[in-house]
DNA sequence: ATCTAGTCGTCAT
DNA sequence: CGACTAGAT
C-alpha cells in the first residue's frame, strides 16, 4: 500500500506535464504498471491460458509514445519477490483464486459482462508475460533491465546516478527512494503529473534550506508504511507537523510519548 | 480537519 | 498500485 495519501499530500510539489517537455531525455520505466494495465484488455484469455499478445501491444504502444517524443526508454522489470512481502503476496493469490471461481460461475450463468470484471480482478502478471515483452523489446533495440528484487530500487538507482533523467511509474514509494523527477499518471496522450524532489519542501511548508530529505522520509514512515505496524490516528498531516518542530530527524530514536503528546492523543 | 478501511478502476470496443 | 468516499475521531 505504500504511503497512504502521499500523492495528494505532495500537490504543491507537483505539476501537470506533457511528454514533449522531455525531448532528448532518458526515462526509466516501471513496466509492471503498463503490464498490469495492458493485461486488462486481454484478462479473460490470460486467465484461461489462451494465447494473446494484447498486453504486449499495449506496452509497445506506450514505448512508441516515448520514442515519438524522442525520449529513450529503459524498461525495468521486477525480479524476485521480497521475502518481507510474502504475506501480502499470499493474500493476493488467495483473492485471485476466489475471483477466478466466481468468473467461471458467472460465465456459466451467461453473465458475460460481470464475468469479465472478475477475470480482470484475477489477472496475474507472470514472468512468462514479462519475458514476452522483453523479447519484443530486444527485437526493436529497446533497453530492458530485470531488477534483482522489486523494480522500485532499480529505478531509483538509475535516476539518482544520472543514467535516467526521469522515472515513469504509478508507485509513490519512488519519491521516498530519492528520485529527482517522477512522472505519475502518464496517459496515452503523453500527459502526466510530475513530482520533483527539489519541490518537496513546498508541501512540507518549510523554506528550501530548512528541508531535510531524511526528515521527509521518516515523516512518511511515521505516518505508516508496509513494513511494520503503524500508529493509529497518525497520518501524513500529523506526522508532518511533528517533524517540522522536532530537531531529531531520526524516527527510531524519538520517544513515542513525545509524538503522542504533540498530536494530543 | 484528519484518519481509516472499504470499494472501484486500470483496456478499449 | 491509486482514487474516492463514508464514517469515525
Q: What is the CATH number of the domain that holds A211?
A: 1.10.150.20
| Measured CA A22 to C1' C6 distance, in angstroms | 41
Do residues A226 and A89 touch, judged by C-beta distance below 8 A? no
Q: Answer whether any strand B atom is within 7 A of the Cβ of A102.
A: no
Q: Answer whether any strand C atom is within 7 A of the Cβ of A78.
A: no
What is the sign of the dihedral through the CA atoms of A212, A228, A224 and A12? positive
d(CA A72, CA A162): 14
In a domain, A258, yes or no: yes
Q: Answer whether any strand B atom is within 7 A of the Cβ of A188.
A: yes
Best CA proximity match to A224, nearest among A9, A8, A3: A3
* Same domain assignment for residues A108 and A210: no
The nucleotides of chain C lying under 7 Å from a protein CB are: 1-3, 9
Q: Could you read off the pLDDT of A96-133 as tens digits, one per residue?
A: 888 888 888 888 888 888 888 889 998 999 999 999 99
Percent pLDDT > 90 in chain A is 63
The residue with greater pLDDT, A50 or A89, is A50
* Same domain assignment for residues A216 and A154: no
In a domain, A160, yes or no: yes
Q: pLDDT band for A172, please (50, 70, 90 cuts).
A: very high
| Measured CA A34 to C1' B12 distance, in angstroms | 15
In a domain, A155, yes or no: yes
d(CA A194, CA A111): 41
In a domain, A259, yes or no: yes
Those residues whose C-beta lies under 8 Å from the C-beta of residue A13, and which sit 6 or more positions away, are: A195, A196, A199, A200, A202, A203
**Which residue has the closest alpha carbon to C8 C1'?**
A233
Would you state the cell numbers that stand for residue A43, as one nine-digit string?
484478462
pLDDT of residue A132: 96
* Same domain assignment for residues A111 and A240: no
* Same domain assignment for residues A138 and A246: no
Q: Tell me which of A136, A164, A192 is where a domain ends.
A: A164
* Same domain assignment for residues A63 and A158: yes
pLDDT of residue A248: 65
Q: How far apart are the first and last CA of chain A?
A: 25
In a domain, A40, yes or no: yes
Q: Answer whether any strand C atom is within 7 A of the Cβ of A30.
A: no
| Measured CA A54 to C1' B4 distance, in angstroms | 37
Q: Tell me which of A132, A147, A164 is where a domain ends.
A: A164
Q: Could you read off the pLDDT of A157-171 as tens digits, one per residue?
A: 999 999 999 999 999
Checking if the pLDDT of A265 tops 60, the result is no
Q: Which residues span the domain enclosing A220?
A: 204-264
| Measured CA A246 to C1' B9 distance, in angstroms | 40
Checking if the pLDDT of A254 tops 80, the result is no
Q: Answer whether any strand B atom is within 7 A of the Cβ of A40.
A: yes
| Measured CA A64 to C1' B5 distance, in angstroms | 39
* Same domain assignment for residues A104 and A42: yes
Total number of domains constituting chain A:
2
Least confident of A4-8, A84-88, A176-180: A84-88
| Measured CA A259 to C1' C9 distance, in angstroms | 18
Phi-psi region of A83 (alpha: psi -120 to 50; beta: other; left: phi over 0): alpha
Q: Could you read off the pLDDT of A54-85 as tens digits, one per residue?
A: 999 999 999 999 999 999 999 999 998 777 77
Element (H, E) at A112: helix A112-121
Torsion of CA A121, A146, A190, A116, to 10 degrees: -10
In a domain, A49, yes or no: yes
Long-range contacts of A184-189 (CB under 8 A, 24+ apart): A184/A7, A186/A19, A186/A62, A188/A61, A188/A62, A188/A65
Q: pLDDT band for A252, please (50, 70, 90 cuts).
A: low
Model confidence, pTM: 0.92
Would you state the cell numbers that stand for residue A44, as one nine-digit string?
479473460
* Same domain assignment for residues A38 and A130: yes
In a domain, A257, yes or no: yes
d(CA A255, CA A265): 14
Q: Answer whether any strand B atom is within 7 A of the Cβ of A61.
A: yes
In a domain, A246, yes or no: yes
Tell me the CATH number at A138. 3.40.50.1010
Do residues A259 and A232 touch, judged by C-beta distance below 8 A? no
Q: Could you read off the pLDDT of A179-226 as tens digits, one per residue?
A: 999 999 999 999 999 999 999 999 999 999 999 999 899 899 888 887
Amino acid at each position: 500500500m505504500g504511503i497512504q495519501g502521499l500523492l495528494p499530500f505532495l500537490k504543491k510539489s507537483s505539476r501537470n506535464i506533457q511528454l514533449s517537455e522531455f525531448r532528448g531525455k532518458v526515462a526509466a520505466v516501471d513496466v509492471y504498471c503498463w503490464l498490469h494495465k495492458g493485461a486488462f484488455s486481454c484478462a479473460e484469455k490470460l486467465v484461461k491460458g489462451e494465447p494473446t499478445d494484447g498486453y504486449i501491444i499495449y506496452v509497445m504502444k506506450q514505448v512508441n509514445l516515448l520514442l515519438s517524443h524522442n525520449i529513450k526508454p529503459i524498461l525495468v522489470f521486477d525480479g524476485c519477490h521480497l521475502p518481507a512481502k510474502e504475506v501480502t503476496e499470499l493474500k493476493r493469490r488467495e483473492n485471485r483464486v476466489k475471483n477466478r471461481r466466481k468468473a467461471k460461475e458467472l460465465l456459466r450463468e451467461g453473465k458475460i459482462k460481470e464475468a469479465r470484471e472478475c477475470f480482470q480482478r484475477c489477472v496475474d502478471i507472470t514472468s512468462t508475460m514479462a519475458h514476452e515483452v522483453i523479447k519484443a523489446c530486444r527485437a526493436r533495440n529497446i533497453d530492458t533491465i530485470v531488477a534483482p528484487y522489486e523494480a522500485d530500487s532499480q529505478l531509483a538507482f538509475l535516476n539518482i546516478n544520472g543514467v535516467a533523467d526521469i522515472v515513469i511509474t504509478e508507485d509513490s514509494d519512488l519519491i521516498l527512494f530519492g528520485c529527482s523527477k517522477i512522472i505519475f499518471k502518464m496517459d496515452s496522450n503523453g500527459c502526466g503529473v510530475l513530482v520533483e524532489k527539489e519541490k518537496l519542501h513546498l508541501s512540507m511548508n518549510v523554506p528550501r534550506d530548512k528541508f531535510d530529505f531524511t526528515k521527509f522520509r521518516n515523516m512518511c514512515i511515521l505516518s505508516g508504511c508496509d513494513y511494520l505496524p503503524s500508529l493509529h490516528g497518525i497520518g501524513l498531516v500529523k506526522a508532518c507537523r511533528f517533524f517540522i518542530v522536532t530537531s531529531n530527524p531520526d524516527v527510531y530514536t524519538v520517544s513515542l510519548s513525545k509524538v503522542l503528546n504533540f498530536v494530543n492523543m
